[in-house]
Amino acid sequence: MKTRISRQFFAHYLVVSLLVLLSTVLALSFLAIASRLAASAFATNRYPASALMRDDYAQIDASPVVESGGSVTIIDRDFRVVRSEGQDALAQDQLTAVEFTEFLVWSKHKNTPFHHDILYNPEGEFWLIVTFPASIRLDFAFILNSKAAAGDLRTAALILAAVLAVYLLLVFALTALYSAVTAAQVTVPLRRLTESTRRLREGDYSARVDLKLRNEFGELQDTFNEMASRIEKEISLRKKSEEDRRRLILDISHDLKNPMSSIQGYAERILHKPEMSREELEGCLQVILHNSERTNGLITELFELSQMDSPEFTLSREQVDLCEILRQLCAELVPQLEQAGFGYEFEIPEKSVFALLDPGRFGRLIHNLASNSLRYNPPGTTVSVSLTASDGRAAITFRDDGVGIPEELKADIFKPFVRVDSTRNPETGGSGLGLSIAQRIAQAHGGELTLLSDGSQGSAFLVVLPTI
């Protein structure tokens, strides 16, 4: 069974209140003990008026009182001071009856700085006043007189019980209030954290907590929020990659289905029409051959792409002069460019730039970029290739001033099967795998292939590779 924090707080505070009550009782008991100890220790109590009293006041021995800092005063029946030893207890020598009565009343006050012990001697008809300066007064006592009237005792018990009940009720109410307020400091942030965790569990990955606290709950909140945003990112990545994969399978099946159906259709036609003319047969076989080549090409590219994605994929690297190898590749390109009516500019430094490359794969990368420029742009387009090297990196820019890549496709252009001609017409475009393969090759070399958005006309690709 779960116990609520607020209830636990209440129980704790109740225990604390009862402990306070107990300590108060203990403190009062100690006070009573201290009061008794003081009674036996102070000079006041060693020289009470009753012990000093003699019938003849001249014989009263005042010296121990005076030596202890006190005073002895004798007042006769006419309220005249007839003897005074030690410090004066009374400021005048003659008092009136009223003044003496006032003195008697005043001497009983607890807050006077003197302790007065006053005794009347009926024989000698005088008052003996023994005065001591009070050092400390401890006047606490709980006195129960068993001889008091029976009704009074019951009333006293009732009053005591009522006071105690009110006191306990107050303690109870204040404890409840205080525990509710202090528990809220824990329960409110906890409840909000729990609520957000529950939302997260139920799939609401946008759940965040804002407690505006700087304490440990604040730390927990930051950790929670960080965790939630990570989960949110992971989930959206996973969703995206699932979506990508679904699209990939759809694209593959679509791109394979068309040529395969065509092959099947033409093969059946040949089979069911034995009287077919030689030209017609050749035409059918041409279509079958063309579609087989296309299917084969697509499967080869797909195989290449998935091979590069596999963890076992390795490059056959060797140390090569990047400038040299790029120069060779450009030289091989020239006849195709000229045949297509393209212009060209190559800017490759004379000095050597060495890199660890798989020459075959690197050739494939450049070939894919070049064949795109050739396939998608009209005659008159100029292709320019340049290489610069600095800080352990070589940058190859492959640029054409042709039709360019539409803005909305730029972000996805390196994804498999993405192409500008979305009707997927096999006659006007490739598989949409060329740039994906080229990018994987650059990445496998520890480099990157990106599309440059420098506002120039046409398309510009940047290949960055590490050099040695």
Task: List alpha helices for 77-116, DSSP H.
Answer: 97-107
CB of 428 to ligand ADP, least distance (A): 9
Exposed / middle / buried, residue 59 (Cβ in 10 Å: 0-12, 13-18, 19+): exposed
**Residues 48, 130 contacting (CB under 8 angstroms):** yes
Q: Give the residue, chosen from 117, 251, 255, 400, that forms a contact with ligand ADP under the rule CB under 6 A.
A: 400
Q: Give the residue, chosen from 70, 189, 434, 447, that forms a contact with ligand ADP under the rule CB under 6 A.
A: 434
SS3 category, 373: helix
Is the CB of 65 or the CB of 441 nearer to ligand ADP?
441
Nearest CA to 341 out of 378, 371, 376, 375 is that of: 378
Instruction: Quote the CA–CA distance of 431 and 273 in Å, as a whole number.
Output: 33
Site for ligand ADP, residues 63 to 122, rule: CB under 6 A? none
CB of 414 to ligand ADP, least distance (A): 7
Size of the site for ligand ADP (CB under 6 A): 22
Quick note: the x/- pattern for ligand ADP over 333-372, rule CB under 6 A, is -----------------------------------x---x
403 binds ligand ADP (CB under 6 A): yes
Q: Give the residue, chosen from 86, 325, 376, 445, that forms a contact with ligand ADP under the rule CB under 6 A.
A: 376
CB of 434 to ligand ADP, least distance (A): 3
CB of 463 to ligand ADP, least distance (A): 14
Paired residues of 461 in beta bridges: 398, 451
SS3 category, 456: coil
Instruction: Quote the CA–CA distance of 305 and 318 in Å, as a whole number.
Output: 22
396 binds ligand ADP (CB under 6 A): no
CB of 230 to ligand ADP, least distance (A): 32
130 binds ligand ADP (CB under 6 A): no
Stretch that binds ligand ADP, among 146-154, 264-272, 359-367, 416-424 (CB under 6 A): 416-424
Eight-class DSSP state of 427: T
CA atoms within 13 A on the CB side of 324: 10
CB of 300 to ligand ADP, least distance (A): 12
Is the CB of 115 or the CB of 440 nearer to ligand ADP?
440
- Dihedrals phi, psi of 132, to nearest 5 degrees: -130, 140
CB of 241 to ligand ADP, least distance (A): 19
Is the CB of 196 or the CB of 431 nearer to ligand ADP?
431
Nearest CA to 337 out of 385, 294, 374, 364 is that of: 374
Stretch that binds ligand ADP, among 97-105, 147-155, 415-423, 442-450 (CB under 6 A): 415-423
**Residues 451, 461 contacting (CB under 8 angstroms):** yes
381 binds ligand ADP (CB under 6 A): no
Token pair belonging to 46: 């060693």
Q: Give the residue, chosen from 44, 131, 221, 373, that forms a contact with ligand ADP under the rule CB under 6 A.
A: 373
420 binds ligand ADP (CB under 6 A): yes
CB of 335 to ligand ADP, least distance (A): 19
259 binds ligand ADP (CB under 6 A): no
SS3 category, 73: strand
Nearest CA to 99 out of 121, 75, 82, 119 is that of: 75
Q: Give the residue, chosen from 435, 441, 442, 463, that forms a contact with ligand ADP under the rule CB under 6 A.
A: 435
Stretch that binds ligand ADP, among 74-82, 156-164, 264-272, 402-410 (CB under 6 A): 402-410
Instruction: Quote the CA–CA distance of 465 and 468 in Å, as a whole number.
Output: 10
Q: Give the residue, chosen from 116, 207, 377, 389, that forms a contact with ligand ADP under the rule CB under 6 A.
A: 377
383 binds ligand ADP (CB under 6 A): no
413 binds ligand ADP (CB under 6 A): yes
Site for ligand ADP, residues 447 to 466, rule: CB under 6 A? 459
Is the CB of 86 or the CB of 434 nearer to ligand ADP?
434
Is the CB of 433 or the CB of 465 nearer to ligand ADP?
433
User: Residues 6 or more apart from 86 whose CB is under 8 A from it?
Assistant: 62, 65, 66, 69, 70, 71, 72, 131
Q: Give the residue, chosen from 431, 440, 441, 463, that forms a contact with ligand ADP under the rule CB under 6 A.
A: 431
Beta carbons within 10 angstroms of residue 245's beta carbon: 10
405 binds ligand ADP (CB under 6 A): yes
Q: CA dist 102 to 91, 131, 444, Å?
A: 14, 16, 112
CB of 371 to ligand ADP, least distance (A): 7
Instruction: Quote the CA–CA distance of 268 and 291 in Å, as a whole number.
Output: 15
Give me the sign of the Cα torsion angle 27, 30, 35, 38: negative
Find the distance separating the first CA and the last CA of the chain, reported in whole Å.
68
Q: Where does this chain bind ligand ADP (CB under 6 A)? A: 368, 372-373, 376-377, 400, 402-403, 405, 413, 418-420, 429-436, 459
